[in-house]
Structure 1
Amino acid sequence: MTGEERAVGRAAGAGPLLLGVRHHGPGSARAVRAALAEARPRVVLIEGPPEADALIPLAADEEMRPPVALLAHAVDEPGRSAFWPLAEFSPEWVAIRWALEHDVPARFIDLPATHTLAWGRQEGEAGAEGESPLDAETADSEDDSGPGAGPGPEPGPADVRIDPLGVLAEAAGYDDPERWWEDVVEHRGVGKGDALAPFTVLEEAMGALRETYGSGGHDRDLVREAYMRLQVRAAQRDFEDGVAVVCGAWHVPALRRKTTVAADKALLKGLPKVKTDMTWVPWTHRRLSRVSGYGAGIDSPGWYGHLFSAPDRPVERWMTKVAGLLRAEDRLVSSAHVIEAVRLAETLAAMRGRPLPGLSETTDAVRAVMCEGSDVPLALVQDRLVVGDVLGEVPSTAPAVPLQRDLARLQRRLRLKPEALERELELDLRKETDAARSRLLHRLRLLGVAWGEPAASRGSTGTFRETWRLRWEPELSVRVAEAGVWGTTVLSAATAKAEADAVTAQGLADVTALAERCLLAELPEALPTVMRILADRAALGTDVGQLARALPALVRSLRYGDVRGTDTGALGEVAAGLAERVFVGLPPACAALDADGAEEMRRHVDAVHGAVGLLGDAPAAGQGHLRARWQSVLRVLCGRDTVPGVIRGRAVRLLLDDGELAQDDAARLMGLVLSPGTPPADAAAWIEGFVGGGSGGGMLLVHDERLLGLVDAWLTGVPAEAFTDVLPLLRRTFSAYEPGVRRTLGELVRRGPGAGSGATGAGSGIPGFAAELDPVRADAVLPVLRLLLGLDEGAEHIGNDLVGVAG
């Protein structure tokens, strides 16, 4: 049957008006709007889950801003979900809006989500990490790069699938399906009297493809199309010839085909079911793009949105947008650049035989004219405009789980609006609003809703400051629904989740980390349970490594508690008890370790040393004697030959830094280790522990000539056959020093013993070092220090003193 015959048949009442579209295609959306305006149907049927029929009126709400998505999730398993995204330029959205504006009923006719979700669970499908097991990109995931693909579950890996757009583009002599689609659809205007012509032509093309390829590897489409045919028949009984169907063009030939009701019902018999809920959720242009993994994705949602919304002169308006973006990034772009870019894009389109400049022509023109041939600013245009970070909005009246409503209330109260574009948020925990924001973000992290991620602060390093990196992704709506099983508010849900996590935690370090997170999130009702489990695990724990990993997290919690005003008395007692267990078990645990085990234990020693330093000062702990106990443990580690050299060297260094070991004693211990009787590998490991890494060991050698002389003498005496064994360790030790420190050490070694500067040596002759203190230069610094410390005395002499320093 030809297109003309089909048009005549529809006019004569032979069947429904089938409008085959490409999902998220602005050309299809414009054509649908024109076709509906011309045909004036009495009912509009749309490809989508019928459970969402009750949600259609919300599309007319003033607060609804696409892109949005229909979210379906299993009631008993909220993490199993599916999305049906709709943008402003989606034909389905245009059809819904037209129906609402003209008081025409609108219905969804695709396979119900109750089957779609159960179908995916039955076959064990799982989405990508961070996505639902049956994502709506899953729900829209058979090869939706074609104009006819629509929502539905993924086929099995053995299916052979075709790309309808690719086949049609190849038949037309195009090597790029997107370029072909732009030429034949997106750049084609809809004139008066030919509103149905695009659909007739597309139906013929899809009919030929279906005759050649059958289901094209989309075997589940046969079931979906059977259900859609049943829904179309039901609508025809109610509305006779006033039925319009908006669906993927791939399905049109199947909906046109004559089949029996019994045959269609047979295909649907025995489908699994699961109880589902549906709502509207915000979506983003970025999640509409194909690079996000979305099966129905398009390459350029921002460009398509521009084509749909631009009333006229789309190329000129696009170039103006690009110029505005580049100017905001401090690039020199003038009106002349815009004019030349438009001219170049039009010239390229004419040379390439295209009806209008497409995205490839505008991109080439922007690169050549506005970006001066560089792809660096062009990548910004691609990210911000071609793809875009537009985030939709849904009305507050949309159905939602109680937890979602509480979160929305908190977001409004704390002025934390979800945004698709990543941004940094600096918080001062001394301010009530910022402290409440911090609590909310930490509670959401406990619930698995990763809206914010902690980041390193670029300003103050005090514990009263926090930096967060915020970005709202549509999948977080699923995480909120999934977390709804823990409670109806963010506070109650986070409390219940923390208690459950404490019970199921695998190791002591997991419980201590959870205790820290509970303090950060201010969950006072969860802390008793977490602390009880923490105390039990600490009392029963025998692995010193786990105990050592757990202690720093507890001490950090004590420090955070000081800022947030949280009662951490119980936590301080547990931390002190845990420290005592570490002190008792550490020396035996350090014996007979291999190189990797020794390095790991050295890191534990560093972590415990830092934790004890903070714990001894923590008011909640009240355990000042812990410092003395820890120093006695370090002395034990220093003197045991069974302890690996890297740990013994680190213990000596920590005692030296704390002033508990004199420099003469440290030099004596180093001399013993570097004596000829010690194997070179052990001596090198001791040096690594003493002066290795970023611990400031390089400056220690610069300023203590005796230590440097011991290392130099030992190194020159290492036998040749052992030198190649110790060289990698020594290289790792000294390569961690800053270039200036390495350069100074090399100069001191070159000059030889007795010529360097140090704590006990004479002047070296190196600029900046002298044999004795220069009182004139030292006194000149004092007024500046008084000014920095806020002391007035001597401030009037600062100018003269600074002149003296300069002199």
Structure 2
Amino acid sequence: MAGAAPRPAPAARLMGAVFVGVRHHSPACARLVAATIERHRPAYVLIEGPADFNERIDELLLGHELPVALFSYSDEHASWSPFCDYSPEWVAITEARRHHAEVRFIDLPAWHKAFHDVTNRYADAELRYAEVVERLCREFAVDNVDVLWDHLFEAEEDPRGLAEYFDLLRGTATADEGDAAREAYMARWVRAAVKHAGGRPVVVVTGGFHTPALRAMLDGDAEWPEVPERERGASYLVPYSHARLDAFTGYQSGMPSPGYYQQVWENGPQRAADWLIESVATRLRREQQPVSTADLIAAHTQAGALARLRGHENLARTDVLDGLTSALISEDLTQPPPWTRRGTLQPGAHPALVEMIAALRGDGVGRLHPDTPAPPLVDAVLHLLREHGLDGEGEVALDLTDPKALERSRILHRLRVLRIPGFDRTSGPSQGSRPQLDEQWVLKPVEERLAALIEAAENGATLAEAAGAVLERRSRHAQLDHLAEVLFDAVLCGITTLSGKVKESLDEGVRETGDLAALGHVLSGVLGLWRHDRLFGTAKDPLLGAVIDTGTARVLWLIEGLHGGPAPADENRLRAMAATRDAVLHAKAALSLDIADVTGVATRVSNDVQAPPDLRGAALGLAWALGTQPDVRKVRGIDALGDWLAGLFAVAREEVLASPELVGVLDELVSAMTEEEFLVALPALRLAFTYFPPRERETIAVTVLDHRGVAGDARSVTRLAADPLVVAEALAVEKRVDALLVKGGLA
């Protein structure tokens, strides 16, 4: 801890209790807590923290590398209580032990209903006193509460007025039901500790928002409160990181820039300012951004001038940041700096801003002591990884027809579903694709894995149980089109207990939906499972068959009544038509419809002039793919040719390739277009031809050259050095220039 310890004036003593209101993760408050405990040598130090962890407080002092967090979970609720070196709560624990005081957490457990909407115990209560904060920001001419806090407290050698600050904030705010319950519970601990302290002081360290209320609740029952019991859940320590602490990346607590404040805590504000300037320069140079010595001198000079202008004893964080911005950024910014609004950087941010935020955040990563207790899931997963040879690093190829490889695949997919980092699949079976009998994975040890495994333990004690709980929760909240993804993941994970429920939900949803895009998504996904039957044991599954049958009939019913004028081709609609084709071709056993019924609907829709052009083309393609030969001559009368072709190519790509007659007709139609007509049709034509991979586009080019009787290299025809749209725009510009020349008599 650098710098002189502040006098503990902001702490308030009342009837044996010394109250220290703090802002979470504030170095100034952490120094105040240490000085208060040093001065009073209390019998008890009471800290805002989960009371159900009191019997395990020694786990916090095993010798971890901070930051770490206390992770608590119960039924569908989880929360974190993070600690870093300069957290006032952490300093309270360590200083209390150093002075042989009894340490107690005095807040309700994280699973209590008071925390129903709370994911971070140490989040600021800013929303409750926004009006006061805004008034203070206007009074001191600062942008937000973070800048206000730095101005009032962090930049001062001896920050005073903390108690008055929190009294002012709380004076206009009414605690909600959850905060009221927490404060009543914490007050009982304070009263009991004062009673049992034998006349010695009791130091109470809580968020400043709660402190005024606790000071007013010292009369009443003075017995130690009981810790509420829970039916399910647990608490464990997890490694944390500066990235997860940073308010600029979404953390809910009050103090952003943990890397910078770590430097303030260790070395003081002046050396922290030097560190920040040097760190930003190093990062920019690493990214090949020019930063000269003159730039750094200018940044130092600007920061010092701003600090003096703003009345700061030491350089504050925003003094340094504003100095760096002035010295390194000469052009107008496309977005305001994040520290002026506490927001995340948006795409396109200036490189200097990107590196400033990265430097402020720091790269600290916590590590738990090896003796730290862990939930059963951690040991279960580590054992599975060792047993199946998945605990190393590198590429893993799996032949899914091999039972042992299939089991390894299921382990990896369960980890993927739980979002455990370091297990990335690069290829393998996917929804709606043709059967694939192998998978490729890349394994990479990462520091975040242990934390992710501990946090995943809220879902279950075994890997299968935890993955199943996550999938079951996803299925409860999933829309129809996402249910198919849940089902596919359940099958990949080998979790059969969930499949039946999801299949029934899919069948019910398919019967009722009018969303053609969602139907196509579901139908293609379920067909993927049907066609992967050799791997997953889903051959002739009656529930899957029912979904395919119902979905196919529903698509046909919807498209026959779909009318509308010309519109851009709808890729989701075309995906549904392609899925219907695949259902008839690959899952005949599941369908109650005859092929004649399907081709009848397709033919009627293809001839319906009121149907959208892309749907008419797709319907013709469906009938063609099922064996009905089209009348190529009718193509000449098609409106919105590009959209119609997109539909045709999406469903009958292979049939088109095998029809030189149709390709010849299309070539004649496109060649007959005026330049204006071609430019209008070009976007739709480009979309249509994206359904052909490069090799098949060359096949079409060969057919076109043969149709024209021209000898040439088909590959050179299909490979332009420039974007076709750019070429088309250039032709349009040339045409306008020619018209102007003619008009001016200059042609």
- Structure 2 distance, partners of 1:205, 1:590, is 66
1:606 to 567, 574, 578: 578
User: Secondary structure at 1:136's aligned position in 2?
Assistant: coil
Provide, for residues 156-214 of structure 1, a one-character-per-residue CA deviation record: whole Å limited to 9, x for no partner. Answer: xxxx7366666666666766543343244323346xxxxxxx56x4335555x38xx64
> Deviation of residue 757 (structure 1)?
6.4
- Are residues 355 and 653 of structure 1, via their aligned partners in 2, closer, same or farther at CA, if it must alter by over 3 Å? same
Correspondence for 1:187: 155
Cα deviations across residues 95-126 of structure 1 (Å, max 9, x unaligned)?
1122334543211223x237x82346xxxxxx
The Cα of 1:690 is off from its aligned counterpart by 3.2
Residue matched to 1:406: 380
Kept in 2: contact 1:82–1:134 (CA 8 A): no
1:479, CA displacement in angstroms?
A: 6.9
Confirm or deny that 1:20 pairs with 2:3. Answer: no
Provide the residue aligned with 1:126 in structure 2. Answer: none
1:302 aligns with 2:259: yes
Give the distance between the partners of 1:544 and 1:170, measured in 2 at CA.
Answer: 51
Length, aligned pairs only: 653
Fraction of identical pairs, as percent: 25
Pick from 438, 442, 447: which aligns with 2:413? 442
CA distance in 2, matches of 1:82, 1:505: 21
Judge conservation of contact 2:378–2:450 (CA < 8 Å) in 1. Answer: no
TM-score by length of 2: 0.67
- Is it true that 1:570 corresponds to 2:570 in the alignment? no
Q: Which segment drifts farther, 579-588 or 315-324?
A: 579-588
By how many angstroms is 1:688 displaced?
Answer: 3.1
1:246 alignment partner, SS class: strand
1:450-465 equivalent positions in 2, closer than 5 A: 464-465=439-440
Radius of gyration: which is bigger?
1
Cα 1:51–1:416 change in 2 (3 A) is farther
- Counterpart position of 1:67: 67
> 76, 79, 85: which one pairs with 1:79?
76
1:254 is displaced (CA, Å) by: 4.8
- Equivalent pair of 1:544/1:586 in contact (CA under 8 Å): no
DSSP-derived class of the 1:92 partner:
helix
Contact 1:279 1:399 in 2 (8 A): yes
Deviation of the 1:693 alpha carbon? 8.6
Matching residue's letter, 2:203 = A
CA contact (8 A) 2:156 2:314 kept: no
Pick aligned residue for 1:377 from 338, 342, 351: 351
- Paired with 2:180 and 2:558, the residues of 1 have a C-alpha distance of 66
Residue equivalent to 1:677: none
Once residues 631 and 325 of structure 1 are traced to their aligned partners in structure 2, the CA distance between those partners, rounded to angstroms, is 67
8 Å contact kept, 2:559–2:605: no
Task: Provide, for residues 24-62 of structure 1, a one-character-per-residue CA deviation record: whole Å limited to 9, x for no partner.
Answer: 101221232244334433432212232221232112123
Distance, in Å, in 1 between the alignment partners of 2:544 and 2:288 is: 52
User: Quick one: distance in 2 between partners of 1:526 and 1:219?
Assistant: 41
- Where in structure 2 are there 5+ consecutive unaligned residues? 1-5, 334-348, 691-702, 718-747
Q: What SS does the corresponding residue of 2:708 show, helix, strand or coil?
A: coil
Q: Note if contact 2:45-2:204 (Cα within 8 Å) is conserved in structure 1.
A: yes
Q: Deviations over 1:243-276 (max 9, x none)?
A: 32323345555555585325x99xx99x998657
Paired residues of 1:427 and 1:465 also in contact (CA < 8 A): yes
**Aligned counterpart in structure 1 of residue 563 of structure 2, from 580, 594, 597:** 594
In structure 1, stretches of 5+ residues that fail to align are 121-132, 146-159, 191-197, 418-424, 616-620, 675-682, 717-722, 743-755, 763-770, 779-807
Instruction: Pick one of 104, 113, 117 that aligns with 2:112.
Output: 117
SS at match of 2:49: coil
- Which residue identity is paired with 2:118? D
Structure-2 separation of matches of 1:228 and 1:174:
34
8 Å contact 1:303–1:385 — kept in the other structure? yes
Match runs of 1:159-178 below 5 Å: 161=129, 177-178=145-146
Query: Match for 1:480: what amino acid?
Result: A
Q: How does 1:408-423 map to 2 (within 5 A)?
A: 414=390
Q: Structure 2 residue aligned with 1:491, among 464, 487, 490?
A: 464
Task: Tell me what 2:740 maps to.
Answer: none
Q: CA deviation at 1:140?
A: 4.0
Q: What CA RMSD, in Å, does the superposition of the two structures yield over aligned residues? A: 5.9
Q: CA deviation at 1:339?
A: 4.7
Matches of 1:8 and 1:363, distance apart in 2: 31
Query: Which structure 2 residues correspond to residues 38-117 of structure 1 after superposition, within 5 A?
Result: 38-62=39-63, 64-74=64-74, 78-110=75-107, 112-113=108-109, 117=112
Pair 1:240–1:404, CA change in 2 (3 A) = farther
1:68–1:393 CA contact under 8 A, matched in 2: yes
TM-score, reference length from structure 1:
0.63
One-letter code of the match for 1:689? W
Deviations 1:702-746 (A, max 9, x none): 994533445787x89xxxxxx9xxx9xx9886423349999xxxx
Amino acid at match of 1:187: A
Cα deviations across residues 294-316 of structure 1 (Å, max 9, x unaligned)? Answer: 55422333322231133672222
- Taking the TM superposition and a 5 Å limit, the aligned residue runs for 1:247-326 are 247-256=206-215, 259-261=218-220, 277-290=234-247, 296-310=253-267, 313-326=271-284
Name which of 180, 185, 193 aligns with 1:235.
Answer: 193
Query: CA, structure 1 residues 435+346, in 2 after alignment: closer, same or farther (shift >3 Å)?
Result: farther
Whole-angstrom CA distance in 2 between matches of 1:499 and 1:6: 54
Rounded to whole Å, the distance in 2 between the matches of 1:590 and 1:37 is 78
Number of the residue aligned with 1:136: 119
Closer/same/farther in 2, CA of residues 372 and 309 from structure 1, 3 Å limit: farther
Counterpart CA distance in 2 for 1:772 and 1:740 is 26
Residue 633 and residue 4 in structure 1: after superposition, are their counterparts in 2 closer, same or farther (change >3 A)? closer
Residue identity opposite 2:34 in structure 1: R
Aligned to 1:802: none
Contact 1:289/1:297 (CA < 8 Å) preserved in 2? Answer: no
In structure 2, relative to structure 1, the CA distance for the partners of 1:630 and 1:347 (3 Å cut) is farther
Give runs of aligned pairs for residues 663-678 of structure 1, distance below 5 A.
Answer: 666-671=631-636, 674=637
> Deviation of residue 440 (structure 1)?
4.5
Matches within 5 A, 1:719-758: 734-738=682-686, 758=705
Separation of aligned partners in 1, 2:112 and 2:174: 20
Is the 2:21–2:205 Cα contact (8 Å) retained in structure 1? yes
Matching residue of 1:366: 324
Determine the C-alpha separation between the residues in 1 that align with 2:603 and 2:21: 80
How far residue 89 of structure 1 moved from its aligned partner, in angstroms, is 1.4
8 Å CA contact 2:398–2:405 kept in 1: the answer is: yes
Equivalent residues of 2:84, 2:90 under 8 A apart:
yes
Partner of 2:456: 480
Query: Shift of residue 93 of structure 1?
Result: 0.8
Q: Partners of 2:515 and 2:163 in 1: how far apart?
A: 71
Tell me the equivalent position of 1:760.
707
* Matched AA of 2:528: R
* 1:245 match: 204
> Amino acid of the residue matched to residue 154 of structure 2?
E
